[in-house]
Amino acid sequence: MAQHSFTLTGNIGADPTYHGVSESNGVTKFRLCANRRRPGEKEGTWIDYDTLWIEVQCWGRLAENARRCLRKGMSVLVVGTVILETWTDAETDTNRSRIVLKASHIGPDLNRYLTTTTAPGGEIVAQPLNGGWVTSGCVPAHCPAPAESGPAARGGAPGQSPQDDSHPRSDGQLVGAGTGADAEADPPF
């Protein structure tokens, strides 16, 4: 049977809870509010509709990372498999069920956050683009504020194109490139 992945974008409704299942495994759970939006009558306002609340479950390493970094109100993207949990209510002896999103991936919504990430074992920082809070528990108190961004922060003047510093600087010499004098030779790759 095929298992389809679903992606939801929404806000975390309450701080996640963590439950250790065994010494090496645990589950982090939180409620996610996903909805659609349309512009309101007043400029700059939005109306939310088609609201969906769903429980998200994370297991293993994802549970550990989610427990350390996710907080109420964060806007996140969650990828996972939709499952139906069923059980018998002990008090009423009736069958109950609920739909749960078993997460395989979670990340901050980059429409709302600038992020800095490190490998597990380090700290993860997520900050809103326009706002005053940082995810508590993810930013050590001794960390400095993020550096300014933009052309001036990278050494350029306002109005200039920012430098692309996503790759290390190079002296312009091509490595492994030939002069083309030996056209009959096989390429080095």
Angstrom distances, CA of residue 37 to CA of 49, 61, 111: 6, 33, 14
- Taking Cα atoms as reference points, which of 120, 104, 135, 118 lies closest to residue 64? 120
- Which residues contact residue 114 at a Cβ distance below 8 angstroms, ignoring those fewer than 6 apart? 127, 129, 146, 149
- Residue 101: pLDDT over 50: yes
Read off φ and ψ for residue 173, nearest 5 degrees: -85, 130
Class of residue 89 by CB neighbours under 10 A (exposed 0-12, middle 13-18, buried 19+): exposed
- Residue 7: pLDDT over 80: yes
90 near 100, Cβ under 8 Å?
A: no
Residue 119: left if φ>0, alpha if ψ -120 to 50, beta else—which one? beta
- Which residues contact residue 113 at a Cβ distance below 8 angstroms, ignoring those fewer than 6 apart? 75, 126, 127, 128, 129
Q: How does pLDDT run across 121-180, given as a tens digit for each residue?
A: 555 445 555 554 444 334 333 333 434 333 333 344 444 333 333 333 334 443 334 444
Calculate what percentage of the chain has a pLDDT beyond 90: 49
Task: With cut-offs at 50, 70 and 90, classify the pLDDT of residue 13.
Answer: very high
pLDDT of residue 119: 63
Dihedral angle computed from the Cα positions of residues 133, 134, 140 and 143, in that order, rounded to the nearest 10 degrees:
-80
- Residue 18: pLDDT over 80: yes
Q: How does pLDDT run across 38-70, given as a tens digit for each residue?
A: 999 999 998 989 999 999 999 999 999 999 999
Residue 60: left if φ>0, alpha if ψ -120 to 50, beta else—which one? left
User: Is residue 136 helix, strand or coil?
Assistant: coil
pLDDT of residue 171: 41
- For the domain spanning 5-109, the CATH number is 2.40.50.140
DSSP string, 100-134: EEEEEEEEE-TTTEEEE---BTB--EEEESSSS--
